Chain A
Amino acid sequence: MIHDIAILGGGPAGMAAATEAARAGARTVLLEESRDPGGQVYRKPAFDGPRDADQRAGDALRAALSASGAEVITGARVWGLGGGPLVAEGFAPFVVSALGAEVTARTLILATGTHERIIPFLGWTLPGVMGLAAATILLKAQGVLPGRRVVVAGQGPLLYAVAAKIIAGGGRVVAIADAATTGEWARALPALFARPDVLARGLAWRAQIMVARVPVLMGAAVTQAVGEDRLAGVRIDGRLMEADALCIGHGLVPATEASRAYRAAHVHDPLLGGWVPVLDADRRTSVPGLYAAGDGSGLRGAAAAPASGRIAARAALRDLGFAAPASAWGAYARAARAGAAMAGLMALRPELVARIPPDTEVCACENVTRAAIEAAADAGAGTMNQLKHFTRCGMGPCQGRMCGEAASALLAARRGVPVAAVGFATGRTPLRPVPMAAILGDFDYADIPVPAPAPL
């Protein structure tokens, strides 16, 4: 069966897009990697308990999705992308392959969310150091504390969300180290008045943190994770604090693997999180039939994501000939204003890149240090694709998701060009490593369609 609209990713943008599409009568399917739709902010807990505001908002989006009649495939680890422009001639329906499911659709909305940017520092690969996003999965889905004595560090509102959740869960936050200054936050705050709900939630986090008397260090950066074989302490600008967990993240980066694989045009905008697909006002990419919504198309926050998902869905509906209401750009713009201010606080900070020690691994998969990246730059590597060839940086299992931001900033700085000039690694499938055993299936040797041999 060919669906009218497929949505890749079941966070707030994807859930809203699927709901909108199915309500309009389009044959709609949503693919989500986790067990339940929800995404990172509205992740459904794996346990029963009192619901907080995020969980209630997530439940509402999930209920609407479920009532809409959209087909929802969860546990779908998407690895293959085809169709669309990726055909021998012309244009074909989009084909999305996941383990255990394959979907064909006339249009495809990418709502793939983000991954976390971590700018390396001494000891950052020690066990006990984890991303803020990883910590939120532990806290939200499992109700598990990342440690007993936790340092929370990095940039952006996630810092305070994670710290507040640890405190609420009975954990001890030793310190919060925010790379932004008080002044930067003061400049960002007025935008939050556009979304009183978001502001109120942030203030509640701050109140929890103040009541717990957690020191909040502004304009501060972690310089070292200390420990032998696991984390024992965290050095913040020279000051050592005993800790058994460090939750750290330097902002979020739109996950653009799918739009890269479809060879859509991209643009680099630090205030949207980095590389994002080029979109029109209706969230059409440069590839016909391919749309992008939510933080994966540029950081504007979970509050703005449903509105952007609806805009994309309505554009797809209209492009397919369905009747669709006019797009609600106003609602999106209001919600996005708050998100834009937060995106500013999560933008790449060149000063953190500048202080990565020379012998520190930037690409942990392939053990490529800062010094090796700079040596490659000196030896002539001018783009991320070429850096990959010169050093293997980004060739490992994470495909550059972890190291790409720091590596491109280092390469650009060394070459004396803007980050946009060094580009990004070409999108390749599988989007995630895929076990051979899971895709090989049963086959007879005689059935392998071996092509004609090359000439002798």
Chain B
Amino acid sequence: MTYDCAVIGAGVMGCATALFLARGGMKVVLLDRAEICREASGVNAGTLTMQMTRAALVPYALRAHEMWMRMPEWCDGGTVLATACPGLSVAFTPQEAAMLEERAIARRAAGAPIELISGNAAQAIEPGLADGVLLAGHCPIDGFTSAYLTGRAFRPALLNAGVTLMENTAVRGIAGRFVLDTAAGPVAATRLVLAGGVWLQDMAAWLGVSLPIKVLINQLVVTERMDPVMRSVLGVASGLLSLKQYANGSVLIGGGWQGIGDRVRGGIAIRPEAFMGNIRLAAHTVPALRDARVLRAWTGLEAETADALPVIGPLLGVADAWTIGSVHSGYTSGPYMGKILAQAILGQAPEMPLFPMERLQ
């Protein structure tokens, strides 16, 4: 049989695109070389914050925030335990305060309801916050998910929608338009969506298209369960910290400090200096974290184009082939990005503009 569309890469972008394509009437196959949402989509910090989202992506992130919060309604009950809470981005130095102000203004202009408040006002919102905050950005629309649940949340809905899910099925190359050479034999489809995260560059190369993607090796640290020490999503002006405490008491420490790895080996190890810098920044921001015990650290791979904006749209020069990925804070915006790409592939006008790759040539 020939599918209407083959989606390669079962992360949040691929899952959302496949789901909305299938609901739009297409016969869809979703392939992944490993398991559903087990790379970046399953190991990221689950942050739904506007204050770490690039200003140009804020309108998308706001719509995606809404989708995450209501996920069970549109995803056949699938849940990532999305939790809404206030978000704070704080500045400890005058330089950081200036950066915070500049960034808050730009994001506010893009639609994020961020207001600048004093350190005392920030402590009223987040009693766990350290003294010494000069200025804080407060955004009432924030929150987080348990990202590790993402695959489990999407899976039943995909199957219910009639998507053929082929996990542990690596695509080795693509012949003609389009026959996928896979470990499980050839898979034919009339349309193609490349949703391979940091491996988008390799996928585009199958079709002779150059699409350089930089690989970020983001580190994450989680603590053992502890008594409540915070109740917001906390960051710093530079964006190099994200902190949240889950209902079970564990605190997740992120912010994009860089670990060791590459496209070929994946994320292979924590960089000790970055680990130390990250947890020191966390403990400086929420002093009660000094009493925490670090349970585990890991890495997740984030893709970035030359201008750090997404590639969502037609694959240049190959009819009926599309890409989706390299969305900064991509998990935050992921389901909405999949939704609008599906609209375009289905021949509808997308609710919001796509991010065509022409600009990168």
Contacts and interface: CB of A to CB of B under 8 A. Distances in A.
Contacts of B239: 453-454
Contact of A429 (B36, B93, B270): B270
A389 B280 contact: no
B35 to A, nearest CB: 5
Interface stretch (A109-117, A189-197, A229-237, A435-443): A435-443
Contacts of A440: 276, 279-280, 283, 290
Given A80-B272, A435-B293, A455 B155 contact: no
Contacts of B295: 396-397, 399, 430, 433
Given A388-B148, A451-B240, A456-B55, A428 B296 contact: yes
Contact of A430 (B167, B276, B296): B296
Contact of A453 (B240, B281, B328): B240
B170 interface: no
A389 B145 CA distance: 13
A436 B156 contact: no
B35 A382 contact: yes
A436 B285 CA distance: 14
A396 B167 CA distance: 27
B268 A263 contact: yes
Interface stretch (B114-122, B189-197, B256-264, B342-350): B256-264
A437 B296 contact: no
A383 B272 contact: no
A449 B240 CA distance: 11
Contact of B42 (A389, A428, A456): A389
Contacts of B293: 397, 433-436
Given A82-B269, A430-B296, A433-B295, A389 B308 contact: no
Interface string B134-166: 000000000000001101100110000000000
B298 A428 contact: yes
Given A397-B224, A436-B223, A440-B279, A448 B38 contact: no
B47 to A, nearest CB: 13
A220 B197 CA distance: 53
Contact of B290 (A80, A388, A399, A436): A436
Given A85-B268, A430-B297, A451 B291 contact: no
Contacts of B55: 456
The binding surface of chain A is classed by DSSP as: loop
Contacts of A436: 223, 279, 283, 289-294
Contacts of A388: 148
B3 interface: no
B54 A450 contact: no
Interface string A362-390: 00000000000000100111110110111
A88 interface: yes
B15 to A, nearest CB: 12
Interface residues of A, number: 49
Contact of B277 (A382, A383, A450): A450
A354 interface: no
Given A389-B148, A450-B240, A456-B106, A82 B272 contact: yes
Interface centre among A392, A440, A450 (most CB of B within 10 A): A450
B291 A429 contact: no
A261 B102 CA distance: 42
Interface string A151-172: 0000000000000000000000
Nearest to A388: B148
B238 interface: yes
A95 B258 CA distance: 19
Contact of B269 (A86, A379, A437): A86
Contacts, number: 138
Nearest to A80: B272
A382 B132 CA distance: 48
A47 interface: no
Contacts of A376: 152
Nearest to A95: B272
Interface string B42-64: 10000000001011000000000
B177 interface: no
B151 A456 contact: no
Contacts of A86: 260, 268-269
A434 B294 contact: yes
A286 interface: no
B296 A389 contact: no
A249 to B, nearest CB: 25
A97 B270 CA distance: 13
A386 B38 contact: yes
A448 B149 contact: no
A390 B151 contact: yes
Nearest to B289: A436
Contacts of B99: 453
A448 B279 CA distance: 10
B231 interface: no
Interface string A4-20: 00000000000000000
Contacts of A448: 277, 280-281, 284
Contacts of A382: 35, 167-168
B148 A433 contact: no
Contact of A380 (B155, B240, B289, B291): B155
B272 A450 contact: no
Contact of B238 (A389, A429, A446, A453): A453
B54 A455 contact: yes
Nearest to B237: A453
B50 to A, nearest CB: 13
Contacts of B355: none
B12 to A, nearest CB: 13
Interface in A23-82: 80, 82
Contacts of A426: 298
Given A82-B269, A85-B268, A388-B148, A455 B280 contact: no
A437 B54 contact: no
Contacts of B272: 80, 82, 95, 97
Contacts of A87: 260, 269
A434 B224 CA distance: 9
Contacts of A386: 35, 38, 151
17 contacts: A80-B272, A261-B269, A382-B35, A389-B148, A390-B151, A395-B148, A426-B298, A430-B294, A434-B294, A435-B293, A435-B294, A445-B92, A449-B273, A451-B238, A452-B238, A453-B240, A456-B54
Given A390-B151, A451-B257, 15 more contacts: A376-B152, A379-B155, A380-B152, A385-B38, A389-B38, A428-B296, A429-B297, A434-B293, A436-B283, A436-B294, A440-B290, A446-B93, A454-B54, A454-B238, A455-B54
Nearest first, the 6 A-B pairs at minimum CB distance are A86-B269, A453-B238, A389-B148, A433-B293, A390-B152, A436-B292
